[in-house]
Amino acid sequence: MVVDWVFVALMVVAVLLTGISKSGFAGGVGVVAVPLISLKASPTFAVAVMLPLLIVMDVFSLKAWWHQRVGRLLWLMFPPAVLGVVVGYFTYGWFDEALLTLLLGVFSVLFGLWGLFKPLRGKLMPGWVGRLCGGIAGFTSFIAHAGGPPLNFYLLQCQLTKQQFLGTAVVFLAITNLVKLVPYTLLGLVNLDNLTIAMLLMPVAWLGVRLGLVIQKRINGELFFRVILCLLILLGIRLIMDGIG
């Protein structure tokens, strides 16, 4: 790993975008953090250094969104998410990272297009779809902190207000990150060097969360959901490009 100004800039941008994403856009934008950092460091380093920062961001975000959560959806999706994390732990190193990135990108693009051109919200999917999305979110979150797209896939169709959507997503991702802390520690991904770098970036994480809260207050509900879907398409294209090349 070469530590230079490009590396520092990538880290700052990745953390800032993740903070904005977690508090203002339900974690969707944060999926770019690992690919960004991986331009100058290993993906293993990227996921390891981001986890402590994600947990700090969660603390900031939970203060704003805890009371907006929808408990029944959390109970539906979180147990499968734990299973997804467990699967990620036991299969760590088995899967080709490029393939996982490609699949997540395809998934994001297809859902984004589907949501934009077909009125999905208001047509609640069966519970098993929510459980499946929760499990996939747990697995992709473990692999690359990319639980946002599978989570959004289900939540966007649950007739939620913008506040309920954000509250449920923030709480889901926060609890999932805490669960991930155990297997990450067992795998040796949480160590003193990574924690030191994370501590230095905590002010950036706080700033990102504050910016996300400000941004989401300035757009109405319908525009908000369209922005989420467009971001999913753009991020999906980026992930596909990363997976292919």
**Amino acid sitting at position 231:** L
d(CA 239, CA 245): 10
Give the global pTM: 0.78
d(CA 51, CA 75): 23
94-120 pLDDT, tens digit each: 767 677 667 767 776 777 776 677 554
115-165 pLDDT, tens digit each: 677 554 456 678 888 899 999 999 988 887 878 878 887 887 888 887 888
Domain ranges of the chain: 5-244
